[in-house]
């Protein structure tokens, strides 16, 4: 897992969608789409959530994500649906795929194979490389899914080769501008991280929670601002008792109002003897920040796994759940 996470920057430029897929996406945009839905679960869902957080405000139609069976009723033949499943066998994603087929939406598939590929004979499929853990495949999934979404909303495609170089360079700032992932992992090793982000950092905080769960096999939470100021904050006096450490994922693109909220939240938490950790990297675009902080926190989860002496690759409980569901528990 460490090697896969180290490869995060290079995975961003490993592959790109076939030109024919991009043409189909541009044609779908020109036909006047009514909305775009990105369906997928777990490690295969996060790229869609990031794409939504980065692009929803630029899209002239609703851009939604779906992590469930079927699809919402608003998704019709005039929508585009992108189904992402690393294995191609995830029950919920297959259900969303079948629903999209039934309603006649413009379908795009991102997968390595499995049942979804078998059932996608005449459909545009962006093929993922095999042999990576789904959650570690985030950069490659993102580099295939984001350009499709960009074409579906009629904007220029991101240059992933450039992005890959930028991310490579940012690793050198770990341990200088921000604490190294290893040091942070040591600092929080007996604590429960609560990742808190706002705007485009919301999926990054959720991703970090999931990475700690799946890689380090331990409990973690995520929340978002401003919402957490209206509920979560009331529990902050118990953070010390439960060993919770808030980790604020800051953005240089935060509005003044949002920065004020982070600082006020920090002050309230400190009154309960709980000092939040602030994670930020300066001088980056929203897209670069999203991926750079996700990469940094992915490494945190691997370091946390090492400290806890657990295997960060195996996800036995997820596999058992899938097996039980397939066999009728
Ligand atoms: O990280 C994981 O292994 C999981 O979160 C999977 O991504 C999730 O179970 C969905 O499977 P798939 O990515 O194959 O659709």
Q: How far is the CA of 88 from the centre of ligand 1 (A)?
A: 9
User: What is the tens place of the pLDDT at every residue in 88-132?
Assistant: 999 999 999 999 999 999 999 999 999 999 999 999 999 999 999
Q: How far is the CA of 234 from the centre of ligand 1 (A)?
A: 34
Closest CA to 217 of 313, 86, 323, 319: 313
- Cα-atom radius of gyration of the chain, to the nearest Å? 20
Extract the tokens encoding 128.
């993922």
The reply to whether ligand 1 has any atom less than 6 angstroms from the CB of 44 is yes
Is the pLDDT at 46 greater than 90, yes or no?
yes
User: Who contacts 93 (Cβ-Cβ below 8 Å, separation ≥6)?
Assistant: 39, 40, 41, 44, 83, 84, 85, 116
pLDDT at 217: 98
User: What is the tens place of the pLDDT at every residue in 159-188?
Assistant: 999 999 999 999 999 999 999 999 999 999
Q: How far is the CA of 185 from the centre of ligand 1 (A)?
A: 24
The reply to whether ligand 1 has any atom less than 6 angstroms from the CB of 87 is yes
| Long-range contacts at 17-24 (CB < 8 A, ≥ 24 apart) | 17/126, 17/144, 17/147, 17/148, 18/124, 18/126, 20/124, 21/108, 21/124, 21/125, 21/126, 21/148, 22/147, 22/148, 22/151, 22/157, 24/106, 24/108, 24/124
Percent of the chain with pLDDT over 90: 99
Phi-psi region of 52 (alpha: psi -120 to 50; beta: other; left: phi over 0): alpha
The reply to whether ligand 1 has any atom less than 6 angstroms from the CB of 42 is yes
Q: How far is the CA of 61 from the centre of ligand 1 (A)?
A: 28
pLDDT at 47: 98
Spacing of C-alpha 55 from chain mean position: 14
| DSSP-assigned beta bridge partners for residue 80 | 36, 106
Q: How far is the CA of 263 from the centre of ligand 1 (A)?
A: 36
| Torsion, CA 9, CA 11, CA 14, CA 18, rounded to 10 | -110
The reply to whether ligand 1 has any atom less than 6 angstroms from the CB of 134 is yes
Domains of the chain are 2-160 (3.40.50.10490), 177-308 (3.40.50.10490)
**CB neighbours of residue 273 within 10 Å:** 10
- What is the chain's mean pLDDT, rounded? 97
Whose C-alpha lies nearest to ligand 1, atom 5? Answer: 42
Instruction: Give buried/exposed letters for 249-260 (b at 16+ CB in 10 A, else e).
Output: bbbeebeeebee
The reply to whether ligand 1 has any atom less than 6 angstroms from the CB of 35 is no
pLDDT at 99: 98
Q: How far is the CA of 40 from the centre of ligand 1 (A)?
A: 8
Q: How far is the CA of 41 from the centre of ligand 1 (A)?
A: 6
pLDDT (average), residues 57-81 = 98
| DSSP-assigned beta bridge partners for residue 193 | 245
**CB neighbours of residue 140 within 10 Å:** 26
Whose C-alpha lies nearest to ligand 1, atom 7? Answer: 43
| Ligand 1 atom closest to residue 93's alpha carbon, by position in its atom list | 15
H/E stretch holding 151 reads helix 138-152
pLDDT at 77: 98
Is the pLDDT at 329 greater than 90, yes or no?
no
Report yes or no on whether pTM surpasses 0.85: yes
Residues 114, 89: Cα–Cα separation, whole Å: 5
Spacing of C-alpha 249 from chain mean position: 14
pLDDT at 255: 97
The reply to whether ligand 1 has any atom less than 6 angstroms from the CB of 86 is yes
Extract the tokens encoding 7.
């490869």
User: Who contacts 22 (Cβ-Cβ below 8 Å, separation ≥6)?
Assistant: 147, 148, 151, 157
The reply to whether ligand 1 has any atom less than 6 angstroms from the CB of 315 is yes
| Ligand 1 atom closest to residue 85's alpha carbon, by position in its atom list | 15
């Amino acid at each position: 897992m460490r090697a896969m996470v180290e490869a995060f920057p290079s995975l961003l430029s490993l592959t790109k969608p076939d030109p024919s897929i991009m043409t189909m996406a541009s044609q779908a945009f020109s036909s006047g789409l009514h909305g775009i839905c990105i369906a997928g679960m777990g490690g295969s869902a996060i790229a869609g959530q990031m794409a939504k957080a980065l692009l929803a405000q630029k899209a002239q139609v609703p851009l939604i994500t779906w992590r469930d069976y079927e699809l919402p009723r608003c998704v019709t033949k005039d929508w585009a649906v992108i189904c992402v499943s690393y294995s191609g066998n995830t029950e919920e994603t297959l259900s969303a795929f079948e629903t999209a087929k039934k309603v006649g939406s413009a379908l795009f598939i991102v997968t390595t194979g499995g049942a979804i590929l078998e059932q996608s004979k005449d459909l545009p499929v962006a093929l993922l490389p095999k042999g990576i853990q789904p959650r570690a495949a985030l950069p490659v999934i993102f580099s295939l899914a984001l350009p499709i979404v960009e074409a579906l909303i009629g904007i220029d495609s991101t240059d992933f080769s450039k992005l890959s170089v930028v991310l490579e360079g940012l690793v050198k700032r770990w341990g200088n501008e921000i604490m190294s992932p290893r040091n942070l992992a040591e600092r929080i090793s007996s604590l429960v991280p609560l990742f808190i982000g706002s705007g485009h950092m919301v999926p990054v905080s959720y991703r970090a929670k999931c990475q700690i769960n799946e890689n380090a096999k331990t409990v973690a939470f995520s929340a978002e601002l401003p919402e957490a100021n209206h509920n979560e904050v009331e529990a902050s006096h118990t953070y010390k008792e439960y060993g919770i450490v808030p980790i604020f994922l800051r953005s240089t693109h935060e509005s003044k109002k949002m920065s004020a909220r982070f600082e006020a939240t920090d002050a309230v938490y400190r009154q309960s003897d709980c000092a939040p950790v602030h994670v930020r990297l300066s001088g980056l675009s929203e897209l670069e920040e999203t991926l750079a902080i996700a990469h940094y926190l992915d490494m945190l989860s691997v370091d946390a796994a090492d400290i806890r002496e657990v295997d960060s690759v195996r996800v036995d409980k997820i596999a058992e759940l899938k097996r039980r569901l397939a066999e009728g528990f």
